[in-house]
Amino acid sequence: MHAVSQAQEGSTAIAIDAADAVTTGAVSRWRRWLRGWGPALAMCALALAGLLLFDHLTRGFQAVTSDGVRRIDLVRAPRPLPPIQLVDSSGARFSLADIAGPSGQSTLITLVYTHCVDVCRTAASGQAYLQQELRARGLDQQVRQLTISFDPKRDTPEALRAYARSMQADPLRWRFASVADAADLARLLKAFEVVVLPDGRGGLVHNGAIFVADPLGRLVQTYDLDRPDQALADLLLD
């Protein structure tokens, strides 16, 4: 019996050793596989994560710039304008949230500063083009225009009046204004997602667009500054 017991113990030990050998071999093969394919899998996972992030940031690969993303977001979810107090070129105060007026008009909005010599010139010429075309098509009663300065220190009502005259703006249709309280400037820029930075030479670097506010006082669309014709075409469709 003792011999049988020893034989059984020996068989068990051999089986355990065999199992350990199999396990060790499997682990060794797994480690070799990881060394061979692990970096490639990690790169694939990283690429997939980057692709998913890019898909989110570009709203399903539909936009490659922040302005494009903003355009898509506004179409999907119109954004109410905040009740920021503005002061126009005549010195009158009004709320940005009330620009549609009691008759419910759409408004074309641009943000500028009057000392600008590049981007703002494009914005101003685009608004001037729209003023002319809206009048020619009899739409100047349904669509208003608003140019807002983000440089309230220099763009006083007097400066805005001079700027409006240089644009040959119709004061009944095209209004020029700035924030009544400089403390509201950051909130204004955030509402339009406009970034303004000093250029180190007394000027400002900024992005811009032609913004459309609907008769409910909501931002609903944007257009590139050099495409006022596209804004006009969509207004004609409406």
Buried b (16+ CB within 10 A) or exposed e, 208-232: bbbbbbbeebbbbbbbbbeebeebb
State phi, psi for 208 to the nearest 5 degrees. Answer: -170, 170
- 44 labelled ligand-binding: no
- Strands 85-88 and 218-223: what pairing? unpaired
Closest CA to 178 of 83, 99, 113: 113
Closest CA to 129 of 236, 231, 211, 222: 231
- 2 labelled ligand-binding: no
List the alpha helices (DSSP H) in the chain: 2-57, 66-76, 119-136, 157-166, 185-192, 228-237
State phi, psi for 221 to the nearest 5 degrees. Answer: -165, 155
Amino acid making up residue 238:
D
Annotated binding site for Cu cation: 116, 120, 206
Annotated binding site: 116, 120, 206
